[in-house]
Structure 1
Amino acid sequence: MSANSAANSIPHPTVIKVDPFVPADKQKGLHNRWHPDIPPVASVKPGQTFKVECVGMSRVGGALGVQAYDRISDWTGGQIGNNDSSDDVKNVDLTKVHNLSGPIAVEGAEPGDCLVVDILDVTPFEKMPWGFTGVFELENGGGLFAREFQSRACKAIWDLNGVFASSRHIPGVRFAGVSHPGLIGTAPSHELLAKWNKREGELIAAHKDAVPPVAYPPEPIGTHVGQDLPKEVLERIRKEGARTIPGREHGGNCDIKNLSKGSRCYFPVFISGANLSVGDLHFSQGDVQMSFCGAIEMAGIITFTTSIIKGGIEKFGLKQPIFLPSPVDPMYSQKLVFEGLSVDINGDGKQYNMDAYVCVAVNRTVAYKQAALNAISYLQKLGYTREQAYLLLSAAPIESHVGAIVDSPNACVTLAVPTGIFENDILPRPEGLLKHNYGQCAIRSDGVL
């Protein structure tokens, strides 16, 4: 190699580093609340390519005093282990989620601008090639079918091998992941934060006995800022900081699988520097996170470059982020497509009017739910348990589309399952479906489902 080549071979800097074997709440440069008073821990220039590490594993005691590095410090902060029991999912503490790397200031960004973020790569840490998907308890997050299934904790551990994922808890499937950040966004202004807390507080008050909860209010317990700040600032963040569980106008936890490497995102800027934060990395996910923890959650490294469009909010009418999807997608050409109508065919048979995805607060995502339940029923005919099917349809690269939204009273939603992810033939045959024994995913130690 020539001297010039060596001199010009400059690696892209990592602006936030994490220790993959230390719990998230013990690390600097991580935070789990949205608040404008959280100062940036790093600064980048527009056009600069940089890497961000998102939390790795936590250390837990192993047999005979040996330390076992079997817990992934993803969005839960290291509460979920690589084992064959879902007791850790049952007991997860949602006050400690998500643990985001940042904030990162972009020089020159001002309120009213548009921050352009190019996602150049998303990879797991080499030293932790595994992730998990989980169904949470009815009373603690639940999932799309929390009430229908009376959700009890279960999970699947996935081994990540190059671009592929497979699981001992869901045998017979192997698929290429579409790795992406589940959570990415800019910091809110004080005014926007107050708006969030007001409207979500009103929703909670209107559904105060809802199980699972309809929203999650500010909560001092479990708050992690990851910086040494004045006591009064920390107290204000603990009291006012918005939980990172839902997505909002700034981006946040939107869990869009197509925000993968090669995507370009346009975020509104609300404070000086924009203060970009990222976390909740996913190795793979379907179009809808069906179970509450519905992606393959992983720790890893994300690579960015940014630019600024001055006055972008006004220029584009930017009420929420917009994005260009990744040009990289798994090539699964054949898909088995399940339809769902806005009739509770799998339940009490009630007719709904044009109910596709709307009004989650009162559990009316009827057409999508019917498509998903039809797919789960079909997978059970192949030998998968309901829990395995639920997890698989959350984690695999499933596509979902609104097929018809005009023909009253029935909206139509489709859910497409790639046939190529299965080792065995799953297509309908005149002789029927061949049923295999695929065991069961990881469930609670008391056996309750």
Structure 2
Amino acid sequence: MAETLIKVDLNQSPYANENIHNRWHPDVPMTCWVNPGDDFILETYDWTGGFIKNNDSADDIRDIDLSIVHFLSGPVGVKGAEPGDLLVVDLLDIGARPESMWGFNGFFSKQNGGGFLTDHFPLAQKSIWDFNGMFTKSRHIPGVEFAGLIHPGLIGCLPDQKMLDMWNEREIDFIATEPNRVPPLANAPFAPTAHMGKLTGPARDKAAAEGARTVPPREHGGNCDIKDLSRGSKVYFPVYVDGAGLSVGDLHFSQGDGEITFCGAIEMAGWVHMRVSLIKGGMAKYGIKNPIFKPSTITPNYKDYLIFEGISVDEQGKQHYLDVNVAYRQACLNAIEYMTKFGYSRAQAYSILGTAPVQGHISGVVDIPNACATLWLPTEIFQFDINPSAAGPIIHLDGSINMPISQDR
């Protein structure tokens, strides 16, 4: 049996656990050390540290202080790892905690985080998803059930000081271009809610003031939210500090490509069983700047899809030049509008796109002026036929079940 190197108590604040941190900084101490070839288990909080509850109110989604996230288990030091190496991480297995067989999906208020379609869904909403083995369904979104593709939304190694300074400089400069934007362009370091693991004293205070927020993906990996990074995957991470400093968290039971609702997957507490090894000098050998990975051989076996197209013409009819972001947004909005014809609210349809194993594709980026993006919606997740027919759509839902919503205060 693999040893569990980091344990979490879901009834305890993550701030009380010295094996947890919520900022990236090279001075965060290693929680433990392993040898290349070792396999081990890390337990994790959900990304909010337990702030979101299994209930029928979205007040917690509305009120969460997003400067506390993400709570990560680690960093784990790997003996012999040096800057320039590649840390090879095999994700052997991932699961939910037996005492917490549920997860949540949410839309953050535009005033507090927002999301990909925040202008269309500006208020906080939430859906709760219960796990039954490898399947999940929600009391807030009837008529749909699907197999999960469990994965860590966030995994990566510690940056060195040079890389940390580069991150902070470019992101703070970016914020300065539109400092009053809602939601903000990026998130600057914020010491008051920083949790720096075992670090104490003046060194802790300095690191808390400098530590990079965990919200975006960066060169080291981080919050990439790649749904196919599941059990059976292999990841090659650039190493920037001695020992590598591997951390993981933000586990998802399932997610659609893009994690478009921002709190966009089915977020859960859980555990990760992994094995590590090293490729010495691997960054230079393979020209690696960002992580690369091999996907799992285990994926939900959905074969029938409805594919929605979007082009780079926005909701107001404005033309954009080969803009994939605009095109994918239109594909998502087209899918949402389609699902409403079967009785779903727009919010329920949006939540399905964030949680179910939908695929997002960049289909064309050369045919000026329009990029083409596509969203692949698996039809087999629905408990009724959603394919177009000459008879027209049949309303399958009576509208009596909906998602909790909270107004901004």
Q: Map residues 370-385 of structure 1 onto 2, 5 A cutoff.
A: 370-385=330-345
Q: Which residue of the other structure, out of 134, 146, 154, is the alignment partner of 2:125? A: 154
How large is the Cα RMSD of the aligned pairs? 1.2
- Aligned match of 1:329: 299
CA contact (8 A) 1:86 1:444 kept: yes
1:348 paired with 2:316, answer yes
- Aligned match of 2:289: 319
CA deviation digits over 1:44-81, x for unaligned, max 9? 111111111002xxxxxxxxxxxxxxxxxx11121111
The alpha-carbon distance between structure 1 residues 191 and 406, as it changes in their structure 2 partners (threshold 3 A), is: same
CA deviation digits over 1:198-257, x for unaligned, max 9? 000010001212110110000012111232x34111111111000001110000000000
1:36 paired with 2:26, answer yes
- Aligned match of 1:424: 384
Aligned partner letter, 2:405 = R
Shift of 1:440: 4.5
| Cα distance in 2, alignment partners of residues 165 and 150 from structure 1 | 24
| Cα distance in 1, alignment partners of residues 212 and 322 from structure 2 | 33
Q: Which residue of the other structure, out of 336, 343, 348, is the alignment partner of 1:388? A: 348
Q: Which residue of the other structure, out of 33, 44, 47, is the alignment partner of 2:37? A: 47
| Cα distance in 1, alignment partners of residues 93 and 399 from structure 2 | 34
Q: Which one scores higher on RCO, CA 8 angstroms, separation ≥ 6? A: 2
Q: Which residue of the other structure, out of 154, 170, 182, is the alignment partner of 1:183? A: 154
- Aligned match of 2:238: 268
| Cα distance in 2, alignment partners of residues 440 and 196 from structure 1 | 44
Shift of 1:19: 1.2
Aligned partner letter, 1:442 = M
- Aligned match of 2:10: 20
| Cα distance in 1, alignment partners of residues 60 and 98 from structure 2 | 24
| Cα distance in 1, alignment partners of residues 26 and 329 from structure 2 | 37
SS in 2 for 1:319: coil
The alpha-carbon distance between structure 1 residues 246 and 398, as it changes in their structure 2 partners (threshold 3 A), is: same
CA contact (8 A) 1:186 1:268 kept: yes
SS in 1 for 2:193: coil
CA contact (8 A) 2:24 2:212 kept: yes
SS in 1 for 2:149: coil
1:171 paired with 2:137, answer no
SS in 1 for 2:165: helix
- Aligned match of 2:67: 95
Q: Map residues 303-318 of structure 1 onto 2, 5 A cutoff.
A: 303-318=273-288
| Cα distance in 2, alignment partners of residues 208 and 445 from structure 1 | 27
- Aligned match of 1:202: 173
| Cα distance in 1, alignment partners of residues 354 and 30 from structure 2 | 34
SS in 2 for 1:407: coil
Q: Which residue of the other structure, out of 209, 215, 223, is the alignment partner of 1:253? A: 223
| Cα distance in 1, alignment partners of residues 362 and 259 from structure 2 | 16
| Cα distance in 1, alignment partners of residues 400 and 386 from structure 2 | 17
SS in 2 for 1:272: coil
SS in 1 for 2:310: strand
SS in 2 for 1:80: coil
Aligned partner letter, 2:326 = V
CA contact (8 A) 1:171 1:438 kept: no
Q: Which residue of the other structure, out of 372, 376, 379, is the alignment partner of 1:412? A: 372
CA contact (8 A) 1:368 1:413 kept: yes
Shift of 1:150: 5.0
Aligned partner letter, 1:397 = P
Sequence identity of aligned pairs in percent? 52
| Cα distance in 1, alignment partners of residues 123 and 181 from structure 2 | 17
SS in 1 for 2:76: strand
- Aligned match of 1:68: none
CA contact (8 A) 1:158 1:166 kept: yes
| Cα distance in 2, alignment partners of residues 107 and 27 from structure 1 | 23
- Aligned match of 1:143: 115
CA deviation digits over 1:139-164, x for unaligned, max 9? 111100112x1510001000011100
- Aligned match of 1:223: 194
Shift of 1:375: 0.1
CA contact (8 A) 2:73 2:249 kept: yes
Please give the TM-score of this superposition, normalised by the length of structure 1: 0.89
Number of aligned residue pairs: give it: 408
| Cα distance in 2, alignment partners of residues 443 and 230 from structure 1 | 41
| Cα distance in 1, alignment partners of residues 48 and 402 from structure 2 | 20
| Cα distance in 2, alignment partners of residues 294 and 445 from structure 1 | 17
- Aligned match of 1:60: none
Shift of 1:102: 0.3
Which deviates the most, 187-196 or 398-407?
398-407
Shift of 1:438: 4.3
Shift of 1:443: 2.4
SS in 1 for 2:335: helix
| Cα distance in 2, alignment partners of residues 445 and 415 from structure 1 | 28
Aligned partner letter, 1:309 = I
SS in 2 for 1:224: coil
CA contact (8 A) 1:155 1:441 kept: no
